[in-house]
Amino acid sequence: MADLYGVAAAGTSVNVDANARKVLGDGAAGIGPYTGFGTPSLIAIKVVSATINFTTTPTIANSNLAKAVAGLQSRAEIYYIGKPSAATNNHFVALVHNEDSGNGYGASTSMDGTYENLEDAIGAALGVAEDDITITEVVLGGLIFA
């Protein structure tokens, strides 16, 4: 296979090799903009319900967990879902694409500290009241989500 990096971009004298492997600009000296091409920026969230037990048959297709994940998936690109345990039966954690969380796919302004659209989508999928679902951001601390 030919090395495509060492050629000029079509119609220009710019060498593709000079920029093809860059992931992040430094924001200085005109280098940038910041990009996450090929490296998605993820955010960890905790989905909590006031009334739903997510451990009730979590592996079946129509379980509470499956419904909640489907609701979340309608508004965010999911990379990981944590399995709830008996001790944490009213919540689960998820890793979602940073730019998607909150307002749906491609919403770069979604990181405003609220997750109302995600909460509404999950609540609708579960058939619970609007204020039953609460989402907060969590951080990975060692091997656990804190």
Q: Are residues 127 and 88 in the same domain?
A: yes
Strands 42-49 and 91-97: antiparallel
Q: Are residues 56 and 17 in the same domain?
A: no
pLDDT string in tens for the chain (146-residue length): 444 445 555 565 555 555 554 555 555 555 555 555 566 778 888 999 999 999 988 778 899 999 999 999 988 888 899 888 888 899 999 988 876 544 444 433 344 557 888 888 899 999 999 899 999 888 877 666 65
Q: Are residues 81 and 121 in the same domain?
A: yes
Domain range for 82 is 42-145
Say how many domains are in the chain. 2
Give the H or E element holding residue 47. strand 42-49
d(CA 109, CA 16): 31
Q: Are residues 20 and 60 in the same domain?
A: no
d(CA 55, CA 65): 7
Q: Are residues 57 and 127 in the same domain?
A: yes
Tokens of residue 67, six digits: 């419904």
Tokens of residue 122, six digits: 């999950």
pTM listed for this prediction: 0.67
Q: Are residues 34 and 83 in the same domain?
A: no
Where residue 126 sits, what CATH number does that domain have? Answer: 3.30.70
Query: Which tens digit of pLDDT belongs to each residue from 84-100?
Result: 888 889 999 998 887 65
Q: Are residues 26 and 6 in the same domain?
A: yes
